[in-house]
Structures are given as C-alpha cells and as structure tokens.
Amino acid sequence: MIEVFHLMEIADKAVNLAVDLGANYVDVRIEKEFSTEIRLTNERFDSAVNGIDKGIGVRVLFNGAWGFSSTCSLTGKDVKDAVENAVKAAKATSIRIKERAVLAPVPIIEDKVETPVRESLAAVGIDKKMNLALKVSGVVRDYSHKIVSANIRYEDRAGEKFVSSSEGAKVLMRPSLVRLVIMAVAREGEKITSATEPFGLHGGFEVLDWEAIKESAITAAKRAVEMLKAHPPPSGRFTVVVNPTLTGTFAHEAVGHASEADLVAAGESILQGKIGQKIGSECVTICDGSTYEKGWGFSLYDDEGVPTQKKTIIDHGVLNAYILNREAAAKLNLKPNGGARAQSYAFRPIVRMSDTYIMPGDQTFEELLEGIRRGVYVKGTRGGAVDPAKGTFQFNAEEAYLIKNGEVTTPLLDVSLSGLTLETLSNIDAVAKDLKLEPGRCGKEGQLVYAGTGGPHIRIRNAAVGGRA
C-alpha cells in the first residue's frame, strides 16, 4: 500500500496547485487497488488475472463549470499535468455553459475508515482462489447428470482511497470485499435452463465460508434442474408474489434510478416534484443507504467526502427523499445525503445508489399466498428494461411457479413481469418479513459500481405477466 503520509502529500499538492491556477473548488481522489478476477466454465479458466491499479482523479469547479482529469501515474509531473488539464477544461467550459453548478454546503470531515480483515486478499495467491472456483464448480456439476455447465465468477477488491478537497475534507478509506457468482446450467433434450446464486461480503479471504458457498452452489444447481420441468406461462393480469431477489431488482431499477437526483433535476424522472405525495401503498417503505454493515454497497463516506446516510426514499407509500450529490442538492434546495459515487479515480463522481431495498413487513411467505386462487410466484431476474422518465419496467424472471388455491405448484418457463412503476407501488398489498440483500453491480453513464439490492417477499395485485420474448 502507498504510505498514508505520501498519499496525503500528493493530494495536498494537487489541491493547492488547482487553487493557485484559479479553481474555485477542487477535490481529488487517490486510489491504489489490488484486484482479482477469475472466470471459470466447468474446468476451463476463461480468465484468471490479478493486479494493482493506482492513480488520481482531479475535479475542479471554475465559475460554475466543471473540469475533470485523471492519470494512472502518481509522479509529480503527471499529477501536475492532470491538475492543469482539469483547470483548463473547467475554464474552457465556463465560457459556454448556460447553467452554472453550485455545491450545497456539507460538514468538513477528517476521518479514516478501515474494513476489518484477518486474511488479506492481496496476500492470498491466485492459485488458491482458482482452486476455490474449481471446487465450487465441482459441487454444481456433481449435483445431477442434467447439469451441463457450471460458470463461476470470482472477484475481489482491496486497497486505499483518499478523498481530499479545497474545503478541508480529508477522508481515508480502506475497503476490502470479495464476491462469487455461481451459475448452474441444466439441459434435458432441447430444453436448457439456468440459475444464479451470488455470494458477496466485506472483509478478507476469511469471509468465504465453505459451507455457505457449498449451499449456494447446490441451490443454484437444484433450481436449474427444477426448471427443466417448467411449462409455458399464462398471460394476463394476476396476483403475483415476488421473491427477495426480484423485489430488490424492482426497488433498484424502477424506483432507485427514478430517485437519483440528477435525473430528477433534469426532468427525466417520474418522481420529479412528488416529494411529500403518496405514490404507493402504505405497506411500502423503500430505502437506499451505505450504512447497513452487511450491505454490499456499505461505505461511511461517498466520493465527495460526504457522510453517507440511510435514505428513506418512500416512507409508507409517501415519497420522502431523493439520492443526492452536492450539486443536485443545491439545485433542488435539499441537504446532501452522500449519494456521489465513482467507479474509480478515473471517473468523475455522479449520483448513484448503494444498497436499495424494500423494508420488511410482518407477514410470512405462506400468509402472502393465502387467498390466491390463481396467481404466479416469480423468482430472480435475467434482466429487462426500465424507463425512469416514463415510469415503465419489464423484468425477465429466472424462474416462476403457478399458484393454485394458495399453494405453489407447476414451474413456469420464461416468465416476464411488466408494468407502470407508480401503479405497481400502489398495487403492493402485502410485505413479508424475510428481508434478504444480494450483491451486484450497477451501470450508469459508462460506470460500474458495486450495489446491493433486496427486500422481502411482496405481493402485487393485478400485475401483468407474460412469456419472455
């Protein structure tokens, strides 16, 4: 790792230089990150790489215009060039922009945050990580002769990030996190099905508990084989019960993106101007926040050095908050809440989610099924499409089952769930108590960041169900 004193010294010089060149505001992020990525198909490694990436991102504000530059070198000359390029970009942009950026005030923080680690990810050889992937693959393939492929993805990240600003913010973060994605593919005749189980935690290599991983591998294989029995789904409107994975997808994709304040301020969200209005059922409370320690998006500070907080986007059906960075907060006359994130030092911070989930209720899964004469139980997701401006969504389920007289029965193949976001929020009439969060990644404006999604089982009335194209 870079010595902390040296890292801070580089940041201070960069900030001071930008101010000397005329910047009204400047923040820098210096990062050094160790990472591993392994992709395995059965016993064939498609890729197995690890390495170290380091660099600095410089963001400046001049006369209401932004300039940004980055470099993967931390030598004096290259850092100086990055600062000068950022200032030049801001000054050039300031001549042409119509709307000038303003930053909402925030407390000035000096802090250090470190993820507890017993077995450093950087100290564990890639051979040990590759052997783990092989072992997981073996569990999946041994489950049944119907399993034709096991796709294992292992990735880890650990390092240091230092955020410093001309206002005096100085935040050092030492994250460490690891993720496994286990996919089982089953085949019978011409029918091919698959199921995925993600497994991700903050910490060192010690957090990879073999018994928990083995259980996830068996679950993925079992689900893939079970779906070989699936039949084409009915089409129409049904009462639908949604599992925690798809609940989280709906919370993140349909609601979370629409609550990102940059989209709201730009008039590209159905939630614009609706703070304080009832937009959903009273049993629906949706949160986004980096403060949940077991959450995949956990972080006490965002990439502007602002303390994060649990943001209750919808509170018992009422729109309560947006996800904000400092610029969007100023535009909307709201207080910043720590929603600025960047993929790495090479990208500028933008408004992003962290862990987005529906809060649990007080019912059991069995109680959600009660009274459903004919409905659909929908689980998992294979992606889909969302339009935050129009408030429409369409998700392809990973698996689904017909519900008859309150019982889960026949498996259904290639089910899709679609609808209007606000209508769906109002049609959620029951929320279970079995909260579950899962690790994932979210893309926006060419940036990928780690983000968690989840919730409990929920029940939706009058939901549009159809076959996946």
Q: Are residues 25 and 153 in the same domain?
A: yes
pLDDT in tens, 386-432: 999 999 999 999 999 999 999 999 999 999 999 999 999 999 999 99
Provide the percentage of residues in the chain whose pLDDT is more than 90: 93
User: Residue holding tokens 């600095």?
Assistant: 56
Q: Are residues 264 and 357 in the same domain?
A: yes
Average pLDDT value for residue range 308-313: 96
Which residues lie below 8 Å from residue 25, measured CB to CB, with a gap of 6+? 60, 61, 103, 165, 166, 167
Average pLDDT value for residue range 73-92: 97
Question: Which amino acid, one-letter code, is at 90?
Answer: A
Q: What is the mean pLDDT of the chain?
A: 95
Q: What is the CATH number of the domain that holds 141?
A: 3.30.2290.10
Q: Are residues 358 and 331 in the same domain?
A: yes
Q: Are residues 385 and 310 in the same domain?
A: yes
Q: Are residues 206 and 77 in the same domain?
A: yes
Q: Which residues pair with 26 in a beta bridge?
A: 60
pLDDT in tens, 331-361: 999 999 999 999 999 999 999 999 999 999 9
Q: Which residues pair with 59 in a beta bridge?
A: 27, 68
Average pLDDT value for residue range 72-100: 96
Q: Are residues 252 and 347 in the same domain?
A: yes
Q: Are residues 37 and 180 in the same domain?
A: yes
468 has a pLDDT exceeding 70: no
Q: Are residues 16 and 50 in the same domain?
A: yes
Q: Where are the beta strands (DSSP E) in 42-135?
A: 44-62, 65-71, 110-114
C-alpha to C-alpha distance for 340 and 201, rounded to whole angstroms: 22
Residue span of the structural domain in which 75 resides: 4-229
Q: Are residues 284 and 384 in the same domain?
A: yes
CA distances from 402 to 227, 408, 464 (A): 12, 6, 14
Which residue, 200, 229, 258, sits at the end of a domain?
A: 229
2 has a pLDDT exceeding 70: no
Per-residue confidence (pLDDT) for residue 1, from 0 to 100: 47
Which residue, 229, 247, 265, sits at the end of a domain?
A: 229
DSSP-derived pairing of the beta strands 392-396 and 436-444: unpaired
Q: Are residues 361 and 287 in the same domain?
A: yes
Domain count along the chain: 2
CA 463 to mean position of chain CA atoms: 25
Transcribe 180-239 into DSSP letters.
Answer: EEEEEEEEETTEEEEEEEEEEEESSGGG--HHHHHHHHHHHHHHHHHGGG-BPPP-EEEE
Provide the percentage of residues in the chain whose pLDDT is more than 70: 99
Q: Are residues 354 and 442 in the same domain?
A: yes
CB 169 within 8 A of CB 163: yes
Which residue, 229, 249, 272, sits at the end of a domain?
A: 229
Q: Which residues pair with 100 in a beta bridge?
A: none
Q: Are residues 352 and 274 in the same domain?
A: yes
DSSP-derived pairing of the beta strands 176-188 and 147-165: antiparallel
Q: Is 35 exposed, middle or buried (0-12, 13-18, 19+ CB in 10 A)?
A: middle
pLDDT in tens, 199-239: 899 999 999 999 999 999 999 999 999 999 999 999 999 99
Q: Which residues pair with 466 in a beta bridge?
A: 416
- Confidence band, pLDDT 50/70/90 cuts, at residue 295: confident
Q: Give the helix ranges, DSSP H, for 254-378.
A: 261-265, 326-332, 365-369
Please state the pTM of the whole predicted model: 0.95
Per-residue confidence (pLDDT) for residue 292, from 0 to 100: 79
Which residues lie below 8 Å from residue 410, measured CB to CB, with a gap of 6+? 230, 231, 401, 402
